Amino acid sequence: MESVRVDGRSLTVEAVVAVARGGALVEISPEAMRRVADSRVVVDSSVARSRVVYGVTTGFGKFSDVVIGPHQVEALQRNLILSHSAGVGRPIDEEVVRGIMLLRINALCKGYSGVRPETLMTLVEMLNRRVHPVVPEKGSLGASGDLAPLAHLCAVMIGAGEAFYRGRRMSGMEAMRAAGISPVVLQAKEGLALINGTQAMSAFGCLAVSDAEVLAKTADIAAALSVEALRGIPAAFSERLIGVRPHPGAIRSAANLRRLVQGSGLTSAPGEVRVQDAYALRCAPQVHGASRDAISHVRTVLEIEINSATDNPLIFPDAPEGEDILSGGNFHGEPVALAMDYLGMAVAELANISERRIERLVNPALSGLPAFLVRKGGLNSGFMLVQYTAAALVSENKVLAHPASVDSIPSSANQEDHVSMGTIAARKAVEIAWNTSHVLAAELLTAAQAVEFCDPERLGRGTGAAYEVIRSHVPRLDEDRPMGPDIATAEELVRTGKVLRAVEAAVGPLD
């Protein structure tokens, strides 16, 4: 996608990835701009009549009972942004910051936030001109939304904070001037509208779920290659067998495995080599499938969330007074928090079972192949440490998979007495996906090496394509060499989808 039209209602995970990673430009639909303008009329009218409205003519959180006069409106909104810029840690990656900016734009486009059109367009210009605010990764409780991350993001809009522009870190004011964008002076409600919401956790989530979908398909590829290297039994992937327990993910995974090994001369029939395979091979569709179903659920949650109004209060221009400005809790991150914990666990399981297949490949007692898949073992250690690295990553995933969403620490003098920790859950899911990408890369390398002791020419159509793309970047191991660079090279093939695309070119799109 070269550009994405934002209307507040139809954003997809693919569009988020296109803007965040692909640099696609953003434009706002005329209908969305009309909704934004209509909601602003309600805010301006409320201020003109000194109407008591949370966050418009009052303080925030525990200070919601403190009435703010009209002459203090600008100071109130600016102070909100500055005081809430309290995050710590390394800057969030540029692609995630771009995702956050897009999601905040889309939420404002729904027309329930009460910002001025020019304020919205300032954020659009920043995104399109690649002014990327410095947003520390830690500090969000995920309850009144992602207050700290969004405050750091929006500080640059008012000429405060810091930003990256053309590869250089500088003050927010300097970045805005260099990009030719005028900072805004926030008016009533605008500061609150900009920082209330779940956009940080959702941006992490969109990128993580996109990666997870690639990993799930790549896990099927890696498993299929391991099945062939170990003379596995594809009868376990039978459509008839899987069909009597018809979980959608398992059906899709089994279909992929059948297609990937089609035409193989390396697989075996029950009783030919062994009666049945170990679980890491035989149960691949059931395990991968369960992860697939979880990933699918998370995508559904995110695509609802990224097209939702998540700040507070919300403006309803067509409603009668008394119902036209409503305070509630749409900013609470619990739906995303639970989904991110679920995603982390689902992706961790892809790594768990992959590491077990690696162990079977390198262990001569289980594989029937040379120990650690190298000739002159003892002089050479071969793939011994590849399994170590995979085991370390899997173990780390188990720690990271502990749910963040079950924790809560009250804040704002107990006004905000239950919080979601959704951004912590989302950040953990991203880290688990990174680890899992490396584990699957390790399996692909290990399985490709194992096939060298069989006959690569007898691989199936899909597995053969996977083997060829691996071998075009990483040569077989004849004697010891540093394995870290090989794993890094294979991981890049996994993460960028190069392995997946090569296989799909051979057998068609995987499910």
- The amino acid at residue 14 is E
Report the alpha-carbon angle 394-399-400, nearest 5. 90
Phi-psi region of 26 (alpha: psi -120 to 50; beta: other; left: phi over 0): beta
As a whole number of Å, the end-to-end CA separation of the chain is: 23
- Amino acid 3 reads S
| 54 carries an active-site annotation | yes
- Distance between CA atoms of residues 420 and 432, nearest Å: 19
Distance CA 327, CA 112 (A): 12
The tokens for 382 are 């071969």
> Long-range contacts for 373-376 (Cβ within 8 Å, ≥24 apart)?
373/446, 373/449, 373/450, 373/452, 373/453, 373/477, 374/477, 374/478, 374/479, 374/480, 375/478, 376/479
* Cβ atoms within 10 Å of 178's Cβ, excluding its own: 15
With tokens 């007692």, the residue in question is: 365
How far CA 407 is from CA of 197, 336, 344, in Å, comes to 19, 14, 16
User: In sequence order, what are the residues at sequence separation of 6 or more whose Cβ sits closer than 8 angstroms to the Cβ of residue 227?
Assistant: 234, 257, 261, 267, 277, 281, 284
Residue in 54, 165, 342, 467 annotated catalytic: 54
Which positions ≥6 away from 472 have C-beta within 8 Å? none
Quick one: CA dihedral 14, 16, 21, 23, positive or negative? positive
Query: 60's torsion region: left (phi>0), alpha (psi -120 to 50) or beta?
Result: beta
C-alpha torsion sign, points 449, 455, 456, 458: negative
Nearest Cα neighbor of 216 from 164, 162, 284 is 284
In angstroms and rounded to an integer, the radius of gyration of the C-alpha atoms of the chain is: 26
Q: Given the structure tokens 């956790």, which residue do they identify?
A: 201
**Residues that are catalytic:** 54
